[in-house]
A and B are shown apart, each in its own frame.
Chain A
Amino acid sequence: MTHFSDTDIAAEAALARDGAEDTPPPPLTPGQLVRGRAAKHRGFQLGLGILVALIMTAIFAPLIAPHDPFVQSLANRMQPPVWSEGGTWEYPLGTDANGRDYLSRLIYGTRISLAVGFGAATIGMFIGVTLGVISGYFGGRVDQGVNFLLTAQLALPGLLLAMALVFIIGPSVWVVIGIVGVLHWTYYLVVTRSATMRLREIDFVAASEATGATRWQIMSHEILPNLSNQIMVIFTFELGVSILAEASLSFLGVGIQPPNPSWGLMIAEGKEVMFFRPWLVVLPGIALFLLVVGANLVGDGLRDITSPEGRN
């Protein structure tokens, strides 16, 4: 044992150093893991960039827009954008048939699209997640009832129903948000219902039940937090779908009413002269495309970034 007793300072130092090498880095928290994966996910970053830029545009619209989007100037009707022949920097994206600045109308249109998108996706979330968790947790007759609702909803032609409802109630931004929201809950329901059925059988729910938790405590405290990732992903998809639904309704004339600058309405107004003044249709189309692609990229990214959690 003599060769072990000479623990001089050098050996102590070596021991401390190698001991430190041997201690593994502390395991990362779920939040750190998500941030690490987000930092590597290009699609998510691009989508988030588009979404944040458009949200900023909507919030600061009065500061950014060069003109009042409602002021008509019949002398300057149908001005082409700056890159076409006859375009001026006064109206960078040209003017519409009433001589209103197209750039300003697009910028203000962001507000309506985002308001409808977020509003409708939120309403749909409350309906779909509530029904999904309840039917998944209770099962049996409750589940059958919710399933009947789901089948009925899926059997109805969505756009036709929305048109009919708006026609009956009367068009306004709030009515459009409400109706698009009430009609877009099925995806939330399907996903949260099956996830709840899986979670219900896991031991931590049984452990909570054994300590005397009520059903509502289990649903809100044990199950709901574990659905947050899926709900976030569906929210971003529904965001894009709702924005397109609003554009369709407005295009058909039963959504946002003139003179409000909705992208769908702008496409409808431009379609009369589509072959002579194509930018009137193309520009709002590009704006819609960017917003929906941005929302979907964020949704796809969120799914990739968060899905490894909760398993294991």
Chain B
Amino acid sequence: MDAAVLDVDGLTVEIDTPNGPLRAVNDLSLSLRAGRSLGIVGESGSGKSMTALSLMRLLPGSARLTANHMRFGDEDLTALSDPDFVARIAGQRIGMIFQEPMTSLNPVYTIGRQLTEGPVRADLMSKAQATARAIEMLDRTGLPDPEARMRQYPHQLSGGQRQRVMIAMALMTRPDLLLADEPTTALDVTVQAQILDLLRDIQRDLGMAMILITHDLAVVADTVDDVVVMYRGEIVEAGPVDAVLRDPCHPYTRALLRAAPTAFGVRRRLGAIAGQIAPVHGRLNACVFAPRCPAVRPACRSARPPARPGTAPGQSYACVLDPNEVAQIVRAESTLMPDSVKAGEPVIEAIDVRRVFESRPGLMRAKRSIAAVDGVSLQVHRGETFALVGESGSGKTTLSRILLGLDAPTSGSVRIAGRDLTDLPRGERGRLVQPVFQDPYSSLNPRRTIGSIITRPLAIQKIGDAASRTARLHAVMAEVGLPEAFVHNYPSQLSGGQRQRVAIARALVTEPRILVCDEPTSALDVSVQAQILNLLTDLKTQLGLTLFLVTHDIAVVHQMADRVAVMKDGRIVEQDSADRVLHTPSDPYTRALLEAVPRLAEERVPETAP
């Protein structure tokens, strides 16, 4: 088991962009032995996916790959022609699982055909052998009644079941290496836990090597043996997963760990990493993390720090500082989160709200009705953060749209600040409740400048004149931490975190009393999520806002919420103070949800250095 399945040295990937060549991966070396699993962790723009795609030769056409050597078993990947690679390696000796199970399967073919087609066409096995093996693999991935599944179409399966099919497909040819690129990011948390367990068990049982690519440190904690942490195309730290998560040596790894909210333990202010990831153009003769590093030295900006051994055996990191120096500077934030505020008067009151969607499957068929929200009653008090938790399809987004006036309940009533929502003129409603949406890429009009986007609510509600609107624009941009220079920029010129600040600024410009935040950080990287969550916390105390937070992420709930309601199938199954619900859940569904959360065990969170 000692031979290296994969041995890559000096892998560099450059992509042509309008701004010049972008170095997505720079001088990356890694080696993986048979039967071992490796996690590649990084935020977006770290080059983790590009690394996986270059192993599978799936890089976009504008990308150029160079490497000193790339060996896979006894094959030299750099010398292999594309047809040979496709014929012998891709899909046969290297299997791959993608992020989106909903679009990875062809909707017009049966599961069985899609599983057997590849191996049969490559003459690896007969049709009968392939069918037998497909059934065996479906059974192995835990799908009940695999024979029946073979005749089904993708739309008949749920997201988690489709990801199991994808795993079975990757395993059909017994690959030596399995590449899993964010295999659970698109799945609900309870399904994510099952898929991660499955991947780990299969990898160990079949003795294959596995590379798991993810942005989530907690996902690798229980799944892989070793981990590499990537930042801006380079490996900043590598080693056994326990050592790296318990005793991180590199400032970035440390900072990333204290930026991630945890679902358990003491609530501290998150240690946000200032700034954002900037792409690397050309060759960078400096430490990749230097622009954002709290422990930066002049030497970091004039030379690439060499990799050096870390505290644990097998651990290595690229930094000029000793681990204890890093620990001194990059400490866990000691500020505790403010205690729950004294509950004020109720500002949102929902009484037995139902929202029924009707659809007619065919012209002559009977109407079908689905209650997305089924008799929900809740109260949100002034100044508190109320979290609505649920998985996809639980009705939480429908409920939040009703609160924003974007949808009307079929029955029941909603009162905002003591007034019935149906009686509120839309302008007045807009001055009471404002939204912050999940995806900052779609919540800003791409054809408008930042200044025009933020002041648009003032123009719609005819508040003030040009001068007072400009003054308000600058005030609110300062409040959310946006540089004034962005006024004339377009959303496409900003990063995800900056765009989310613009969305928050637009929501605050009319000085509303309630912010309805629908998954405000799910589309953001961990370090940027920390910035936004801290910003929301600060704004809440400064402006006396009430936050209505819709999320699936228990860690965000634990970090932010004073009170929690857990929603399932359109109903609220549990509603109480956050402390009570997270520590002593009474409903079985809440308990299942909490158990499924991938956790960095308490002792792994770096404590404040003495």
Contact with A along B267-305 (1 / 0, CB 8 A): 000000000001111101110001100000111011000
State which of B281, B291, B431, B445 has its C-beta within 8 Å of the C-beta of A222: B445
The contact of B446 among A23, A208, A310, by CB within 8 Å, is: A310
**B283 to A, closest residue via Cβ:** A21
Q: A21-B284, A217-B460 are in contact. Are A212 and B442 (CB under 8 A)?
A: no
Chain B residues with CB under 8 A of A11: 298, 302
Chain B: interface residue total (CB-CB under 8 A): 56
User: Within 8 Å of chain B (Cβ to Cβ): is A207?
Assistant: yes
For B490, the chain A residues whose CB sits under 8 A away are: 29-30
Q: Describe B's contact surface by its main secondary structure.
A: loop
Which chain A residue has the least Cβ–Cβ distance from B444?
A204
Chain A CB within 10 A, most for which of B302, B425, B494: B302
Partner of A25, one of B20, B444, B510: B20
- Contact in complex: A14, B301 (CB < 8 Å): yes
B439→A203 contact, CB < 8 A: yes
B302 and A14 contact, CB distance less than 8 A: yes
Measured CB to CB, the closest approach of chain A to B276, in angstroms, equals 11
Interchain CB contact (< 8 A) of A210 among B284, B286, B299, B435:
B435
Docked-complex contact B492 and A226, CB < 8 angstroms = no
Interface residues of A in 1-55 (CB under 8 A from B): 3-4, 7, 11-12, 14-15, 18-19, 21-30, 33, 36
Is A202 interfacial (CB 8 A cutoff)?
Answer: yes
Known contacts A208-B460, A210-B433; is A309 also within 8 Å of B492 by CB? yes
Interface string of B404-433 (1 = CB under 8 A from A): 111000000000000000000111111101
Q: CB within 8 Å of A: which of B507-526?
A: 507, 510
- A143 smallest CB distance to B (angstroms): 16
B326 to chain A, nearest CB (A): 13
Identify the closest chain A residue to B325 (Cβ). A1
Contact B298 A204 (CB under 8 A): no
Name which residue of chain B comes closest to A19, CB basis: B301
Contact A213 B298 (CB under 8 A): no
Q: Which residues of A contact B429 (CB under 8 A)?
A: 210, 212
CB of A84 closer than 8 Å to a CB of B: no
- Report whether A22 and B291 are in contact in the complex, using a CB–CB cutoff of 8 Å: yes
Tell me if A312 is interfacial: C-beta within 8 Å of chain B. yes
Set B431, B442, B492, B510: member contacting A203, Cβ < 8 A: B442
Task: Return A18 CB to nearest CB of chain B, in Å.
Answer: 5
Across the interface, do B298 and A28 meet the contact criterion of CB distance under 8 Å? no
The answer, yes or no, to whether B83 is at the interface (CB within 8 Å) is no
Nearest residue (CB) in B for A25 is: B19
A208 to B506, CA, bound (A): 10
User: Are A23 and B278 closer than 8 Å at their CB atoms?
Assistant: yes
Q: What CA separation (Å) do A27 and B485 show in the bound complex?
A: 13
B443 at interface, CB cutoff 8 A: yes
Give Cα A212–Cα B434 distance, bound, in whole angstroms. Answer: 10
Give the distance in Å from the alpha carbon of A23 to the alpha carbon of B19 in the complex: 12
Instruction: Provide the residues of chain A in CB contact with B20, threshold 8 Å.
Output: 25
B493 at the interface (CB under 8 A from A): yes
> Of A18, A204, A228, which is within 8 A of B445 by CB?
A204
Verify if A225 is at the interface (C-beta below 8 Å from B): yes
Q: Are A4 and B446 in contact (CB under 8 A)?
A: no
> A209 interface residue, CB < 8 Å from B?
yes
Flag whether B73 is at the interface (Cβ < 8 A): no
A206 at the interface (CB under 8 A from B): yes
Q: Does A151 contact B (CB under 8 A)?
A: no
B456 interface residue (CB < 8 Å to A):
yes
Question: Which residues of chain B come closer than 8 Å to A27, judged between CB atoms?
Answer: 19, 492-494
Given the interface pairs A7-B298, A11-B298, A212-B427, the reply to whether A207 lies near B437 with Cβ below 8 Å is yes
Min CB distance B576 to A, Å, is 29
Nearest neighbor of A31 in chain B, beta-carbon distance: B490
Known: A204-B442, A211-B456. A25 touches B447 (CB 8 A): no
**Contact A22:B286 (CB < 8 A) given known A204-B444, A210-B430, A212-B427:** yes
Which residues in A have their C-beta under 8 angstroms from that of B406? 206, 209-210
Residue of B nearest to A28 (CB): B18
Chain A residues with Cβ below 8 Å from B290 are: 22
CA distance A123 to B587 in the complex (A): 63
Tell whether B503 is near chain A: CB-to-CB under 8 Å.
Answer: yes
Is B194's beta carbon under 8 Å from chain A? no
A210-B446 contact in complex given A22-B290, A25-B281, C-beta closer than 8 Å: no
Q: Is the CB of A213 within 8 A of B445?
A: no
Give the complex CA separation of A68 and B430 in angstroms.
66
Complex contacts, A28 vs chain B, CB 8 Å: 18-19, 493
Q: What residue of chain B has the Cβ atom nearest to residue A222's Cβ?
A: B445
Write the nearest CB–CB distance from A263 to chain B, whole angstroms. 38
B457 close to A (CB within 8 Å): yes
Q: Which chain A residues border B506 with CB–CB below 8 Å?
A: 207, 211
9 A-B residue contacts at CB 8 Å? A12-B298, A18-B302, A26-B493, A30-B492, A36-B18, A203-B437, A204-B444, A204-B445, A207-B435
Q: What would 13 more interface pairs be, CB under 8 Å, given A22-B286, A206-B443? A: A4-B297, A4-B299, A22-B290, A25-B19, A26-B493, A33-B18, A204-B444, A206-B401, A206-B435, A207-B507, A211-B510, A212-B461, A226-B446
Residues of A within 8 A of B (CB): 3-4, 7, 11-12, 14-15, 18-19, 21-30, 33, 36, 202-204, 206-214, 217, 221-222, 225-226, 228, 309-310, 312
